[in-house]
Structure 1
Amino acid sequence: MAPEPVSGSSATCAIGVMAKAPRSGRSKTRLCPPLTPDDAALLSAAFLRDTTANILEAARSAPIAAYAAYAPQGAETLVVPHLASGTHLVLADGTSPAPATVEGFGRCLLQAVAGMLAQGHAAACVLSSDIPTLPTRLLVEAARILLAPGDRAVLGACDDGGYYILGLKQAQAHLFADIAWSTDTVAAATRARAREIGLALVELEPWYDVDDAASLARLSADRTGYAAPATRAVLARLTGLPEAAPA
């Protein structure tokens, strides 16, 4: 299913959440325990709803187009029900040609960036699906930085060493090369790749992603950032969540 052309895309920044269809036993498995597989799938669906709604909220303040970068091909009908209305689709299953140095999840990220840029957007960001409370202002800031004249990248790091957003004005394959994905070196390696090609890198305020019991406890106690109503509704139904550690 090819994405529909986005009207007026040439002066916009696309922001695409990396979206997988929420499925019991396959979604947010690192949250089990304390969650059951069914509860983890419900929370995954809520994260997608809130994240895409957050992108659309940011679009009220900056020229932003909301996307879900989905996989695998053919999963559109499983993903779309969990997206905020007005979210476009772009395939990001890692099947597009890429340099041999770009492996694993990096191929999906690169494909998502290239696919959004191919729709005529001036810039494109890939966004984590594990950050339902990310402040909307950071999405607005990313878009404004990228849409200013001159070439640059935008990076928003997570406190676990990964990143929640990476924005580019060109599909720079080298930024996804030789990265040990799902480790605490991802953001640092991405910074190094930008230096290697002389690409200016603007960093946003760090934020946290929710991918284990400790960060789930933090999410449950935290009331900062985006309101994330779908996520809060699911959390209110769950019991037995771990308590957040004292600050």
Structure 2
Amino acid sequence: MSAARPAGAGSPVTLLVIAKEPVPGRVKTRLTPPFAPWEAAALAEASLADTLAAVAAAPAARRVLVLDGRPGPWLPPGFDVVPQCAGGLDERLADAFARSAGPALLIGMDTPQVTPELLTVDFADCDAYFGAAEDGGFWALGLAAPDPALLRGVPMSTAKTGAVQRARLVAAGLRVRELPPLRDVDHAADARAVAALAPGGRFAARLAQAEHAAVRR
């Protein structure tokens, strides 16, 4: 049951980013084709860099990169880096929230169009934030009082993932505030649409390079 005033009201928020090291053949495999594996990895790196830049520019008590792999030159200063746990994505997301003793907002690396303004949240009048993804998942989840049990067992990477996760929050009696829906970068069409939303970012520049190279092949 939710309390009259959320535990996280007025408290600084921990911003969590869950990500994979951008290694060819391990990230953004649905972008191949039309792009080569190394190009898909370069796009993943640019997406991650844009995401981390937005997080770095947003107010936070702490910024944590929950990483599968090793950090590289794309990592800006000011982040704590912790390894992802073993298990499915639900377990890894749950473990990421367990890293925070206070209110936290978690995002992934697939929405390079995210802005610091979208990540500036306050739990004064809610217990949770939920950002739906256009593919049926979710791009952001915020909890005033992080409870890993709210994520464990949620089926991930399906068209119903977001609906199931949001229903979990409601069933727990949490007051949920919606963040604007965003489009994840999964396929080439997603990449083009997202780049058009943030034409000045690293991702848009890297996509232009990759598309130019693909045309010349």
Structure 1: which 5+ runs fail to align?
Answer: 1-9, 96-103, 243-247
TM-score, normalising length: structure 1: 0.75
Name the amino acid aligned to 1:132: P
Question: In structure 2, how many angstroms separate the alpha carbons of the residues matched to 1:216 and 1:225?
Answer: 11
Q: Which residue of structure 1 lines up, in the alignment, with residue 96 of structure 2?
A: 112
Q: Is the CA contact 1:54–1:226 (under 8 Å) kept in the aligned structure 2?
A: no
Q: Is the CA contact 2:66–2:83 (under 8 Å) kept in the aligned structure 1?
A: yes
Question: In structure 2, how many angstroms separate the alpha carbons of the residues matched to 1:80 and 1:168?
Answer: 29
Count the aligned residue pairs: 205
Task: Give SS of 1:81's match.
Answer: coil
Task: Give SS of 2:154's match.
Answer: coil
1:173–1:67 distance in 2 versus 1, CA, 3 Å: closer
Q: How does 1:55-74 map to 2 (within 5 A)?
A: 55-59=55-59, 63-71=60-68
Structure 2: which 5+ runs fail to align?
Answer: 1-9
Task: Give SS of 1:15's match.
Answer: strand
Identity of aligned residues (%): 32
Question: In structure 2, how many angstroms separate the alpha carbons of the residues matched to 1:64 and 1:33?
Answer: 40
Q: Deviations over 1:156-207 (max 9, x none)?
A: 1111111110011223233213322101111100121112211111111111
TM-score, normalising length: structure 2: 0.85
Question: In structure 1, how many angstroms separate the alpha carbons of the residues matched to 2:211 and 2:154?
Answer: 37
1:241–1:108 distance in 2 versus 1, CA, 3 Å: farther
Q: Which residue of structure 1 lines up, in the alignment, with residue 44 of structure 2?
A: 44
1:50–1:193 distance in 2 versus 1, CA, 3 Å: same
Q: How does 1:181-192 map to 2 (within 5 A)?
A: 181-192=156-167
1:135 maps onto 2:115 in alignment = yes
Question: In structure 2, how many angstroms separate the alpha carbons of the residues matched to 1:215 and 1:163?
Answer: 15
Higher relative contact order (CA 8 A, sep 6+): 2
Task: Give SS of 2:53's match.
Answer: helix
Task: Give SS of 1:54's match.
Answer: helix
Q: Is the CA contact 1:20–1:79 (under 8 Å) kept in the aligned structure 2?
A: no
Name the amino acid aligned to 1:66: R
Name the amino acid aligned to 1:41: A
1:232 maps onto 2:204 in alignment = yes
Q: Which residue of structure 1 lines up, in the alignment, with residue 144 of structure 2?
A: 169
Q: How does 1:81-230 map to 2 (within 5 A)?
A: 81-94=73-86, 104-115=88-99, 117-118=100-101, 122-140=102-120, 143-144=121-122, 146=123, 148=124, 152-220=127-195, 222=196, 224-225=197-198, 227-228=200-201, 230=202
Structure 1 residue 232 displacement after superposition: 2.6
Once the two structures are overlaid, the 10-residue window that deviates more, 106-115 or 168-177, is 168-177
